[in-house]
Every structure is written in structure tokens, then in C-alpha cells.
Homo-oligomer: A and B are copies of this chain.
């Protein structure tokens, strides 16, 4: 008999509004009043749907991540070889990030300062570790069937790919993108496929003493 509301939908509206403001002003600079205003409600109403400021972010993150996870699964299910699955995974991840750009920017902001390794759902470290594991396995499977170059260090390459992904996200936050995102994706494809150089590169001798270098170039 009181007002009837779709609680889920209203929570979603608030969550979306919050992400928008977080993106605009940054998580820390955002006041609850800002979120309320953006969502078109009173301050108190926010607390009917979320326990506190951090909780709004957490719940949005869970939503974001659930979509990501199921998307990854679907994308990989459509591919037939380890290498193609790897490709599908990379492609999906980059597309997903572009679609959830605001969320990503906010997570960089938020996780950039807070290490909360206690909460596994909210722990980027855990999520990254899982991602790297999946990728590493794909690389190794690809190597087993000679689809991927056997000389690759699978662990390092997995980390590299996740880093590349992170960089793509971060770049969208820090810098204005000048090139078309599509063309950057093409460049990534190109890079993964055949590297940058036209032919074997003549490597420079390490001039700084080579302390950290070793036998890096082939």
C-alpha cells in the first residue's frame, strides 16, 4: 500500500548515476549529495539501496564483472582452437572495456589507491591472477599444437597481454585517445600477429652496462 517501486531498477539507476559522477569528479571528490542529485533523489534514499559510498561502487563492480565473465565464456565458446580462443578473449576484453569505459575509469581511480586484498570479489589482484592463468593455459595449449611459437615464455606473455589490456584502459583515462580505438585494436592484432618490424632488427648493443639485459633479443 505504500508507493510501489521496482527496487532493482532504482538501485540500478542510482548505481549508474554514481558511476557517471565518479567518472566526472573522481571517486574521492564525489559527495553523496552529488550522486543523489544525479540520480534525482534525496541523499537519504541512497542509503535505502546501498550501505555506504563504497558499497555503491562494489555492487556496480560486481555487475560489471559478472557481465565480463559470462562474455569471456561465450566468446571463447565460439572459437575452435587455442590460438583463436586467445584471440577471441583479447578481442572481447577490449570491446568490453570500450563499452564499460566509465566503469573502467572509475576502477582505475578507486583501485589505484586502495588495496583491499581481504575482499576476494573486490580484489583486482585475484581477478588478474585468474585472467593470467586462463591466458597462460591458452598459450600453452596453443604451443602444444604448434599454433603458437614454442619459444614464448607463456607466463610472461600472459602478463604482458593483461598489461596491454590495462594500458589500453588506463590510456583512455589518462590521455585523450587520438587514434581511433578501432585502429588501435587493429594495431594490436597486427602486433600480436607479426610484430612491428619489416625484417629481423639489428639490435643495438646495450650501452648502459647491460646489467638488467641478458640475452633479450633472439
Contacts and interface: CB of A to CB of B under 8 A. Distances in A.
B83 A183 contact: no
A132 B124 CA distance: 28
A159 B147 contact: no
Given A150-B198, A196-B192, A216-B185, A111 B174 contact: yes
Contacts of A187: 152-153, 156-157, 159-160
Chain B CB within 10 Å — which of A80, A152, A166 has the most? A166
B84 A191 contact: no
A155 B178 contact: yes
Nearest to A87: B204
Interface string A196-218: 11101111100110001110111
A46 B131 CA distance: 43
A162 B171 contact: yes
Contact of A125 (B44, B115, B166, B174): B174
A157 B149 CA distance: 23
A197 to B, nearest CB: 6
B124 A83 contact: no
Interface string A87-131: 110010001001000000100111111110000000011001100
